[in-house]
Structure 1
Amino acid sequence: MAALPPVPESPEPPRRGRRKEARPGELLDAALDLFVEKGFAATRVDEVAARAGVSKGTLFLYFPSKEDLFKAVVRKNIAGRFPEWDLEMETFEGTSSELVQYCFQTWWERVGSTKASGLGKLMLSEANNFPEIAEFYRREVVEPGHRLIRRILQRGMDRGEFRPLDLDHAVYLVLAPLMFLMFSQPSLSLCIPNPDTFSAQEYIRLQAENVLQGLCVRPT
């Protein structure tokens, strides 16, 4: 019996023939790049579409305005991750000191060392010109971030691991070193004399230890 002829491999689909559901993610990645590189005001939607390899009309099918596009970028990279982070905090089995160290390290790995860290710097520089966007960022990033840190500190106090704290101000003990690292990117050489020898991971480790020196209950 003669062998069947081999089935020819399907050719690679052209770029325009990709699945539609793949395009929103590509648009959000391109938008993140451009927003961080150029800022909100200077970024044009046609540039985002071109970088993602689609038409401007395709972009507007998913995101009706540049504001909607920016909000989607923030939700994908930061705001949309708070449910995951809240669950991690609730199920964490170590001490509160270990939880603080874990939060410092994972923040760096998931946000601080990525392009998403540039979104906070962008908002700091452009908030006054775009109050609606600033209010959105405050509501969906700043406030949930503060609530998460407060819960971590309250956990430590409830367990007798942390001394009594004014949580309205103590949250900034945790935030301050992270904000320095975030806002110094990518202009590290302006803040640090020898940026080539600076290790962000070592900085994070030392800052976590330093914060915990102030938080933890001291032996009598």
Structure 2
Amino acid sequence: MSPISKFICETHAKVHAKRERRKEARPGELLAAALELFVEKGFAATKSEEVARRAGVSKGTLFLYFASKEELFKAVIRENIAGRFPEWNAEFDAYTGSTADLLRYTMTIWWQRLGATKAGGITKLMMSEASNFPEVAAYYQKEVIEPGHALVRRILQRGIDRGEFRSIDLKYGVYSVLAPMIFLLTWEHSLGACAGCDETLDPEKYLAAQVETILHGLCKSDTPPPPEHKKDR
């Protein structure tokens, strides 16, 4: 092979390899662009062509990877939240400390890994638009809400089984843990995002205060329990 032919072959190979790498990167670039736009504008207001434009591809290219805007949004949820539950459950299984420390760790690390990121806006988005897009809402319910509840339930059950927590109604105990987390996400992506808002909220201090209230309640330890309600005779 002549030097010129060799150069041409090598150049073609490099171009082909570059194209293949670009092709492999496109789904991730589309998901990143979609996440930004969905959080910024909402699901209904985001157009498929806007996502493609921000990712630097054509609208046709977007639909080669995702059949519809709904499927694109499901992929965003899967990439940023739903797909991480195996990792989070494995982390739970490996934890050896007290359950109180596990709950503190869970709420803190949730904020650092998810809540403080762009993906934290997905929760508020779902709360505001779920009723208009039942298919997406059903997907979010199955892939995020249900496994999220199950993980929190496992934490609380661990504390009860080890004698560290008192026995509680786990169905509503789960909401006691999730409520301050959901409030924080809602705040951060609504009033907390307004430049003129006078109220400041330090997320990690807020979560630390909430978890201690969950763990210890508001009553002093020597406060007697409330009397039981007597049945009508």
Q: Tell me which interval the TM-score lies in, with the shorter structure as reference length.
A: 0.7 to 0.9
Within 5 A, what are the aligned runs for 1:104-119? Answer: 104-119=107-122
Q: Distance in 1 between matches of 2:176 and 2:169?
A: 11
Mapping 1:167-178, distance limit 5 Å: 167-178=170-181
Whole-Å separation in 2 of the counterparts to 1:98 and 1:172: 19
- Counterpart of 2:126 in structure 1 is 123
Residue 194 in structure 1 maps to residue 194 in structure 2? no
1:152-167 alignment runs, 5 A limit? 152-167=155-170
Distance in 1 (CA, whole Å) between partners of 2:87 and 2:192 is 34
Does 1:87 find its partner at 2:90? yes
Q: 1:30 to 1:19 in 2, by over 3 A?
A: same
- What is the distance in 1 between the residues matched to 2:140 and 2:53? 26
Q: Distance in 1 between matches of 2:54 and 2:123?
A: 23
Amino acid at match of 1:58: T
Structure 2 distance, partners of 1:24, 1:61, is 10
How has the CA–CA distance of structure 1 residues 190 and 77 changed in structure 2, closer, same or farther, with 3 Å as cutoff?
closer
* TM-score normalised according to structure 2 size: 0.82
RMSD of aligned alpha carbons: 2.5
1:19-98 to 2 correspondences below 5 Å = 19-98=22-101
TM superposition shift of 1:67: 0.7
Q: Is the 8 A contact 2:82 2:143 kept in 1?
A: yes
Q: Distance in 2 between matches of 1:190 and 1:50?
A: 26
Gaps of 5+ in 2: 1-10, 225-233
Aligned-partner Cα distance in 2 for 1:79–1:189: 26
Q: Indicate how the Cα distance of structure 1 residues 189 and 183 shifts in structure 2: closer, same or farther if over 3 A, else same.
A: closer
CA contact (8 A) 2:124 2:189 kept: no
1:124 maps to amino acid: M
The structure with the larger Rg is: 2
Instruction: Give structure 1 stretches of 5+ with no counterpart.
Output: 1-9
